[in-house]
Every structure is written in C-alpha cells, then in structure tokens.
C-alpha cells in the first residue's frame, strides 16, 4: 500500500486530501496518515496535511529499496555510499550469492566504467549491479548486456526521452551518453558461473563533465523522476527479457536492437586490440557482434570502442 500511495502522490497534479486518498484506496484516513508518516520517515518529502491535501515534493529523490518490486529480485542490498556496487556484487557472486541479488548504492566513490575508465557516480543517479546465472553457453552470454541496454532505452523512450542504444551497451540521447553497462563474468568452457551486470544511469544527478564522450542526465528531458519507479520499470521489462534470453538467446532481440541503435547505417571507427578500422554499420548478428562493412567485405566486432563518424543518411540523432 505504501508503494501505491507514493505512486498516487507522485502522479497527482494537485494536492490529494486524506479523505480522497482514503476513499480511492479503500482504507481509513488514519491509515493514510500513518503511511504518509512512514514515507516521510523513509526520506520522501511530502508536503501538506490531511486537510489541505498532501503533495509529493519530489526534489529529494531518496532511494527507498523497500519500495522496489520484489518479483524479479531475490535480495536487495542498499548502501548510501559504496566504493563500487560491481566489486561488492562480484565478491557476493564468487561467494555463491543467488541470482537476482541487486547491489544498489546512492553514491559510489570508486565507480568503474568500461575500458578501465572511472565512472562518476554522485547522489541522484542509478548505480547498481545485478548477479545473474544464465543458463546459456558462455559465448552467448555477453549479448545479455545488449538486451539490458535495450530495455533501458525502451523505458526511457516510454517517458519521452529520445534514447537509443550505442553498441554494445550504452544508452544515448541527442548525441550524449546517459548511461552504460559494465559486464563481468566467470565461466568454464560450457557453463556460465555468474554474470555481474553493472548499470549506471545519470537520472537526477548533474551529468559529469570532462568525460571522454559528452554526458547528459535523464532529468534534462523529463525533470526529476523517481529512481525507484524507473528501476521497477526496467526490472519488470528485464525480467521478461531475461527469461526469453535464457530460452532463445539474442536472436529474438536482434531486430529491435538494430531499430533502436544509433549506429545502424552510420559510418564509424572501431578500435580494438588489433587496431583501428573504419566502416559502415550493417547491424548486429545473432550473437550481438557488430557487423561492419569495410573496404574488403564485412567484419565482426566483439569487443572494443566504436565512435560515430557520420550518422546514417536521413537518421535523426539520438
């Protein structure tokens, strides 16, 4: 009921009186009042009184892990400050932590990004790592992160953010990076032990400056959003996608990924251990590798860094 009440308050355009809330929720006014106090104690800023009406003063978006929908999660471990959720999740995974363990931090002091980069993680963003133990062959596993990024793109687009995915698993909008995923995995030849899916999204925080690529926060398009709500939306989607991925791999997501990719048809440069190449992005294959048309035909890129040189003809920048 606390979740329900919070959602109603967050969505309401005008203050809601205790009487109205009691009627729509089918409880007594005293029960509404008690819940309001509980939400306030949990750090939500709720202005007003029973008589004049309550209003969610959402500028302080304090994460309340108790309000996360538990269906898709086995356990949520929440820290106000942590070095890196990824390091914490990894040690838990190594120690046998169950699939569906979510490590979440309001702020990270040692956040890590791909390519050994630093990931700036102040209050207001979403920084979390999820332990997964997929039942696919290790070669298929990396594509799971493309699916996780695609789900973030869909969640943000549903809220009017013109987001797109940038291979392999970045979330971009209008030429700026909103978030990214760092995936680490332990496996043997034919079995995945665990995957830690480390996700960082700039939501209500000021975007970092001086980063390798320009960054932005979701806030710029939507105003302050509830991070719990966003995470619940992503989690609900991802739980479905994960089940599908375990059954059928990346193939069922391939077309949707290409449709949402900001690189499809674009001219790019690609850097990996074997050097720098230029080409035109044809799409992705069923393993999630990037297909690049180069002078001598087609190459497949598995891991590395892609930079956009020229967007696809007639494609709007996302």
Residues at the site binding ligand BTN, with contacts judged by CB under 6 A: 84-86, 108, 111-114, 117, 119, 121, 127-129, 170, 180-182, 198-200
As measured in angstroms, the least distance from the Cβ of 182 to ligand BTN is: 4
Q: Dump the DSSP string for the chain.
A: -HHHHHHHHHH-SS-B-HHHHHHHHTS-HHHHHHHHHHHHHTT--EEEETTTEEEE-TTS----GGGS--TT-SEEEEEEEES-HHHHHHHHHHTTPPTTEEEEEEEESS-B-GGG-B--B-TTSEEEEEEE---S-TTTTTHHHHHHHHHHHHHHHTTT--EEEETTTEEEETTEEEEEEEEEEEEETTEEEEEEEEEEE-SSSPPPSS-SS-B--THHHH-S--HHHHHHHHHHHHHHHHHHHHHHTTGGGHHHHHHHBS-TT-EEEEEETTEEEEEEEEEE-TT-PEEEEETTEEEEE-SSEEEEEEPPTTPPP-
Closer of 52 and 212 to ligand BTN (Cβ):
212
As measured in angstroms, the least distance from the Cβ of 295 to ligand BTN is: 30
Closer of 174 and 184 to ligand BTN (Cβ):
184
Closer of 272 and 298 to ligand BTN (Cβ):
272
Closer of 182 and 262 to ligand BTN (Cβ):
182
As measured in angstroms, the least distance from the Cβ of 130 to ligand BTN is: 10
As measured in angstroms, the least distance from the Cβ of 124 to ligand BTN is: 13
Nearest residue to ligand BTN, by Cβ distance, number only = 180
Closer of 152 and 250 to ligand BTN (Cβ):
152
């Amino acid at each position: 009921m606390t979740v329900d009440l919070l959602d109603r308050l967050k969505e309401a355009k005008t203050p809601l009186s205790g009487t109205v809330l009691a009627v729509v929720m089918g409880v007594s006014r005293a029960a509404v009042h008690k819940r309001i106090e509980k939400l306030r104690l949990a750090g939500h800023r709720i202005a007003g009184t029973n008589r004049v009406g309550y209003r969610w003063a959402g500028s302080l978006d304090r994460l309340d892990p108790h309000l996360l929908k538990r269906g898709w999660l086995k356990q949520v471990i929440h820290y106000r400050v942590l070095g890196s959720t990824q390091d914490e999740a990894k040690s838990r995974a190594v120690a046998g932590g169950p699939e569906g363990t979510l490590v979440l931090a309001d702020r990270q002091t040692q956040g890590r990004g791909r390519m050994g980069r630093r990931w700036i993680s102040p209050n207001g963003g979403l920084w979390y790592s999820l332990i997964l133990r997929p039942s696919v062959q290790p070669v298929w596993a990396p594509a799971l992160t493309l699916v996780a990024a695609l789900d973030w793109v869909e969640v943000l687009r549903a809220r009017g953010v013109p987001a797109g995915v940038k291979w392999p698993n970045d979330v971009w909008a209008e030429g700026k990076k909103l978030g990214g995923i760092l995936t680490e995995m332990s496996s043997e030849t034919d079995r995945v032990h665990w995957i830690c899916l480390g996700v960082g999204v700039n939501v209500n925080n000021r975007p970092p400056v001086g980063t390798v690529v320009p960054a932005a926060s979701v806030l710029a398009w939507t105003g302050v959003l509830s991070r719990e709500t966003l995470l619940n939306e992503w989690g609900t989607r991802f739980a479905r996608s994960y089940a599908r991925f375990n059954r059928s791999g990346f193939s069922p997501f391939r077309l949707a990924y290409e449709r949402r990719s900001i690189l499809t048809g674009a001219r790019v440069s690609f850097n990996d251990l074997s050097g720098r190449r230029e080409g035109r992005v044809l799409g992705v294959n069923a393993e999630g590798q990037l297909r690049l048309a180069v002078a001598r035909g087609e190459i497949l890129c598995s891991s590395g860094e892609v930079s956009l040189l020229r967007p696809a003809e007639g494609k709007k920048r996302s």
